[in-house]
Amino acid sequence: MLKTCLLNPLFTEPVDRKRERYFVRSGSRWPASYTKPTGQIGRYIPFPFYLAYAAAILERASLPVTVADAVAENLPVESVLSFVRDERPDLVVYETTTPTHQRDLHLARQIKEITPGAEIALCGPHATTFPRQVLEEEAAVDYVLLYEYENTLHELVTKKAGGEDLDSLAGIAWRRNGEIVLKSEYQPIDPLDQLPFPARHLFPAPTRPDPHVYWDGFCQHRPAVQMHASRGCPFRCDFCLWVQVMYQDGKYRTFTPERVVDEMQDAVERFGAKEIYFDDDDFTISKKQVLGICREIRNRGFRIPWSCMGDAVVPDQEVFDAMADAGCVGMKFGVESAAPQILERLGKPVDLDRVRQVARWCSERNIKTHATITFGLWEESRETMEMNLSFVKDLDVDSVQFSITSPFPGTRYFEEMEEAGRLKSRNWEDYDGSRSAVVAFPNISLEEIQTFCERAPARWLFAKIRDPKWIARQARYLYRLARGQGLAGLKGRLKRVREIVWG
C-alpha cells in the first residue's frame, strides 16, 4: 500500500551567538518566527491539527502513515531528510507558510534528491493561494492540496493506491501531461463530527508521542492538550488569513458538545492532560455551543481546567458564569485596535465598552485574560498606536500581545494594499508579523512601527504594576501556575517578565 509521510519541518536562522530564530508553521493561524536559545526547543509549539486529523483519517482507513514534527522535536533539516530516507515513503506532505516559502520549495528539491520515487504534496495557506505558481516554480512538487485538506489527502492516497485518475477530486492541483490541472472547488468538512480524534499518539513522532512538548505559554497547567471545538468564524476581518484562505469565508462549524467532551476526557485518560486549551478561530462565537459544552462537562461530573481563544463581542455574563462553573481558567481575545477609524474597517463589531465589560466579567470569575493588539492596519499613525497602548493600559486584563499585521497573500488586506501600491516588499520572508512591517503609511515609517511594537510590552507592564489590584490578581495566578506547572513553570514565567522589562 502507498505509504504517506507527514512532516512539520523546522527552519532556523541565527540571531546571535546564543539565540536563533525559529518559524512556527503547522497549527498556527498566524505564521511567524520566534527566538529561542540555540539548539533548544522553542517556548511556543502549537499542535499541528490538520496533520494530526489527516493522520487519523489515514489510520482509520488502514493506510500506512508516519510523522515527523521537527518543530516540536527541534530537528534540523538534515535529520528530517534522514528520516524520510529511512522511511522510504511514497508520498511526502507538509504545510507551507508565506515567510518560509522559498525554504519549503528547497526542501522539496532535497527530498526528491534522496527519495526520487516519492511524490510531494504541499498544502497550507501560501500554497493554497498560489497553487499554479508553486507547480510552475518547483518541478519537485507534484501536488498542491487546497484549503482544509484532510479528506482531500485521504482521497488522493486512496486513488493513487488504486491506480485511479484524480479528476473527481476537489481542492487539488497537479500536473497532467505537462499541463497544470486545478480543481479549486472548496468542500468544507461538514459536519465536523465525521473527523476522528486527531492522532496525538503519533506526534511529534510515532515512537516518541509526547503531549508535553506542545505548549502555549498562556496555559497555567502542564501538560496542556490543545483542542478544537469549531472551525471558522462569522466575522470578516480583512487581515484574517485562516478564515479567508483555508475556509474561504465559509460557514462557522462546530463539533457537538458530546464529541468535544469525549475528546477532553480522552486527552486526560490517554495523554495525562492537566489543562485543555481550545485553540479555535473563535471558541465563543455561539452561545448555544458554549453553554452546551459547559452543560455536558457538568453533567458528566468531569473536572479539568481549560482555557480558550474567544472574543469580546458575543459572550455575555451568563456565558462567562457557565464557563467558570465548568472549569474555565483563561481566555484570549482580540481587540486588534482602539482607534475608531480603524475599528470601522475591522470586519468585526468591536465595541470598546463591551471589551471593558468582558474583561471585568472574567476578572470577577477568576478567568485569566489575554488581549491582542495589532499595529499596521490601514491608516496607522503614531497617534493611533498610542491610542491602542493607552486603551490596553487601562483595560483590566492580565497580559497583552502586540504584533505587526502581516498582509498575507490571499487576504483582502493584501489585495487592498497591493492595489494601492503600499506593499513595500514582495520578498515573502519579510511577511513575518513578529518582527517586520511591509505596508507603507503616509505619516509613519515601517521602522517606527517596528520600534513601537518592540517597546509596547514593557510600557504596558510598567503601567500595570502601579495597580495594587492587578498585582494581587497576578499573585493569585502565579500561585495557580506554580501548582499547575511546578517551580520550573514559575521560573519560566518570571524569566519571561524579565525579558519584557529588560529586552
- The enclosing domain of 213 has a CATH number of 3.80.30.20
Same domain, 27 and 99: yes
Q: Evaluate whether residue 246 is within a structural domain.
A: yes
Confidence of residue 113 (pLDDT cuts 50, 70, 90): very high
Question: Is position 195 within any domain?
Answer: no
Residue 411 and residue 455 in one domain:
yes
Instruction: Work out the end-to-end distance of the chain between its first and last CA atoms, rounded to an integer number of angstroms.
Output: 53
Where a domain ends, among 117, 150, 183?
183
For residues 47 and 115, membership in a common domain is answered with yes
Hey, how many other C-beta atoms are within 10 angstroms of the C-beta on 379? 13
For residue 413, which of 184, 179, 243 has the smallest C-alpha distance?
243
Residue 200 covered by a domain: no
Peptide bond into 209 cis (omega under 30): no
Torsion angle of C-alpha atoms 24, 335, 476, 213, degrees rounded to 10: -10
Is residue 199 assigned to a domain?
A: no
- What integer pLDDT is reported at residue 493 of this predicted model? 65
pLDDT at 502 over 70: no
Q: What digits encode the pLDDT tens for the residues 120-145?
A: 999 999 999 999 999 999 999 999 99
Q: Does 168 lie in the same domain as 243?
A: no
Residue 367 CA to residue 328 CA, distance in Å, equals 7
C-alpha cell at 114: 534522496
pLDDT at residue number 15? 87
| Model confidence pLDDT, tens digit, residues 326-364 | 999 999 999 999 988 888 888 788 899 999 999 999 999
As a whole number of angstroms, the distance between CA 317 and CA 324 comes to 10
User: Is the residue at 102 inside a domain?
Assistant: yes
| Residue 428 counted as domain residue | yes
Residue 496 lies in a domain: yes
Q: Please name the residues in contact with 147: beta carbons below 8 A apart, sequence gap of 6 or more.
A: 128, 171, 186, 188, 245, 246, 247, 248
Q: Are residues 175 and 233 in the same domain?
A: no
For residue 150, what is the domain's CATH number? 3.40.50.280
Question: Do residue 237 and residue 317 come from a single domain?
Answer: yes
Q: What is the pLDDT of residues 138-170, one digit of tens each?
A: 999 999 999 999 999 999 999 998 888 888 899
Same domain as 81, residue 113: yes
Q: What is the pTM of this model?
A: 0.94
pLDDT at 494: 61
Domain span at residue 325?
A: 207-502
Asked if pLDDT for residue 93 goes beyond 90, the answer is yes
Q: What are the φ/ψ torsions at residue 7 (nearest 5 degrees)?
A: -120, 150
Rounded to 5 degrees, φ, ψ at 170 are -115, 150
Q: Is the pLDDT of residue 388 over 60?
A: yes
The yes-or-no verdict on residue 55 having pLDDT over 60 is yes
| 164 and 223 inside one domain | no
Helices 446-464 and 382-394: angle between axes, nearest 10 degrees = 20
Higher pLDDT pick, 8 / 483:
8
User: What pLDDT does residue 498 have?
Assistant: 61
Q: Which residues contact 241 (CB under 8 A, 6 or more apart)?
A: 29, 30, 31, 125, 408, 410, 411
Distance CA 433, CA 431 (A): 6
Q: What is the mean pLDDT of residues 7-16?
A: 91
Cell of 472: 494581587
Average confidence score pLDDT of the chain: 91
**pLDDT tens digits along 233-248:** 988 888 889 899 999 9
Residue 499: predicted pLDDT: 58
Q: Are residues 237 and 158 in the same domain?
A: no
User: Looking at the predicted structure, is the pLDDT value of residue 226 above 90?
Assistant: yes
**Separation between Cα atoms, residue 15 and residue 120, nearest integer Å:** 31
Q: What's the structural domain count of the chain?
A: 2
Q: Is the pLDDT of residue 491 over 70?
A: no
- Final residue belonging to a domain, choices 183, 198, 220: 183
Whether 217 and 124 share a structural domain: no
Q: Which three cell numbers stand for residue 236?
A: 470578516
Helix then strand count (H, E) for the chain reads 17, 18
| Percent of the chain whose pLDDT exceeds 70 | 96
pLDDT-based confidence at 117, cuts 50/70/90?
Answer: confident
Give me the mean pLDDT over the 90-114 stretch: 94
Does residue 194 belong to any structural domain of this protein?
no
Say yes or no: 29 and 88 in one domain: yes
421-460: pLDDT as tens digits: 999 888 898 888 666 678 888 888 888 888 898 899 999 9
27 and 113: one domain? yes
Which of 183, 216, 251 is a domain's end point?
183
Q: What does the alpha-carbon distance between residue 190 and residue 251 come to, in Å, rounded to a whole number?
A: 10
